[in-house]
Amino acid sequence: MKKIIILLSVGLIFSFIIVSCGSMEDKIVGKWQHVLIVGQSSQGSDTLDMTQYPPTYNVFREDGTLQIYNSQQEENVRYLIRDNKLYSFKLGKTDTAIMDIKKLSKDELILQVKFKDDSQRIESLYYKKVK
């Protein structure tokens, strides 16, 4: 009886680990509309309401591709998620964009970018999931 309880406990813990590891990748898949940018630096903060402009969308696909587009242009890149960070890159290129994932729910995504220049600016990018 003790062995059965231990085996069930180990199975339950293992199942929880598998579900938690894949959940961030599963949640991000879909179409997201860019709705807000909040910038902060030593000079202060500013906000840009992206809903006042033609919509910009990020489409995350299960195969690790990311399509970013607005009414004027389209960009296709690869992405991966590790340690609450979103890495996006073009195959064959050396540049990789790294953003912290501050929040990811079924309908809200907040990414944060830290610029490594003199301004030490931080931008938080807010998205809402669209159907």
Third-level CATH fold of 2-130: Lipocalin (2.40.128)
The beta-strand segments (E) located in the chain are: 30-41, 44-49, 57-60, 65-69, 74-82, 85-89, 96-104, 108-114, 122-130
Give the pLDDT confidence of 64-109 residue by residue, as tens digits.
Answer: 999 999 889 999 999 999 999 999 999 888 889 999 999 999 999 9
Query: What residue segments make up the domains of the chain, in order of their start?
Result: 2-130
Tell me the pTM: 0.78
pLDDT at residue number 49:
97
Cβ neighbours of residue 104 under 8 Å, at least 6 residues apart? 24, 27, 28, 110
